[in-house]
Amino acid sequence: MKSFSSADSDLLEEIILHRRDVRGNRFLDKAIPQKVLDKILYAGVNAPSVGFSQPWEFVLIRDTDRKQAIKASFTVENRKEAAVFNLQRQESYKKLKLEGIHEAPVNIAVFYKPCEHPVLGQSSMKEVGRYSVVCAVQNMWLMARALNIGLGWVSILDPQKVKQILNAPQENQLVAYLCLGYVDYFYQNPELEQLNWEQRKDFRDLVKEECY
């Protein structure tokens, strides 16, 4: 049985701590070799999935016109989102660069594809199928960082619009839209923490013993 050392778990911690959500102003105009991209996708398909259902599909997007169509959805949703904040926050919000659709050489749309037969473990909590897909995304995110590649998750999109643009089957659900590329640097801390948009929560406040 494979046994890992404390140096191994410390290295994993380093990768976890250095992972960042990367936006467009950091991406370099440098292609990701197919072999490197495959290593990231391989990390994804080896994520856990409920009942070993592997309910994920990945669409790789590089075409400028297609990116432009996705970006148009971002622009509409971004305008709507700005309006949910108070006036002071709206000013800060408008200064943020929140996606890297064009700047990243590769975008990956990650879909949940529901299984046609009943899935073991998915009767009581239907959402665990989509959660399996999120586990795949997190594996990809960590692997990208270990390969010194930046990844940004863009959630300011209309999932129905993205489905139309990619001609996705009716039953598929968009879980994540990712932008990947080499970067000039990774921020030391999460950008929204540095900007004081949100404060880091105290570890001890988040962990309860036995019950609330």
Instruction: Measure the CA–CA gap between 126 and 121, rounded to whole angstroms.
Output: 9
Cβ nearer to its own copies, comparing 87 with 206? 206
Tell me which H or E stretch contains 109: strand 106-112
Residue 44 or 103: the one with the smaller Cβ distance to its own copies is: 44
Going by C-alpha positions, the residue among 13, 5, 23, 47 that lies closest to residue 155 is 23
Does 60 engage in binding with its own copies (CB under 8 A)? yes
**Tokens 């009943």 — which residue?**
118
35 part of the interface to its own copies, by CB under 8 A:
no
Residues in the chain: 212
Residue 168 binds its own copies, judged by CB under 8 A: yes
Please select the residue that binds its own copies; options are 23, 27, 32, 59, rule is CB under 8 A.
59
Site for its own copies (CB under 8 A): which residue of 28, 64, 91, 127?
A: 127
For residue 100, the minimal CB distance to its own copies (Å) is 14
| Shortest Å, Cβ 2 to its own copies | 5
Q: Is 71 in the site for its own copies (CB under 8 A)?
A: no
Contacting residue, 25, 28, 46, 171, with its own copies by CB under 8 A = 46
Asked if 145 touches its own copies (CB under 8 A), the answer is: yes
Site for its own copies contains 178 (CB under 8 A): no
Coil/strand/helix, residue 170: coil
Query: Would you count residue 11 as binding its own copies (CB under 8 A)?
Result: yes
In the complex, minimum distance from the CB of residue 29 to its own copies, in angstroms, rounded to a whole number? 18
Spatial distance between the Cα atoms of 60 and 178, rounded to a whole number of angstroms = 10
Pairing type for strands 56-61 and 149-153 reads unpaired
Taking the C-alpha atoms of residue 74 and residue 77, their distance in angstroms, rounded to an integer, is 5
Using the rule CB under 8 A, which residue among 28, 31, 48, 171 binds its own copies?
48
From the number of C-beta atoms within 10 Å of its C-beta (0-12, 13-18, 19+), residue 34 rates as exposed
Tell whether residue 77 is a contact of its own copies (CB under 8 A): yes
What is the size of the binding site for its own copies (CB under 8 A)? Answer: 100
- Decide: is 22 part of the binding site for its own copies (CB under 8 A): no
Name residues contacting its own copies, limited to 81-120 (CB under 8 A).
81, 84-85, 93, 96, 98, 118, 120
Of 211, 195, 166, 180, the closest CA to residue 41 belongs to: 180
> Which helix (H) or strand (E) segment is 17 a member of?
helix 6-18
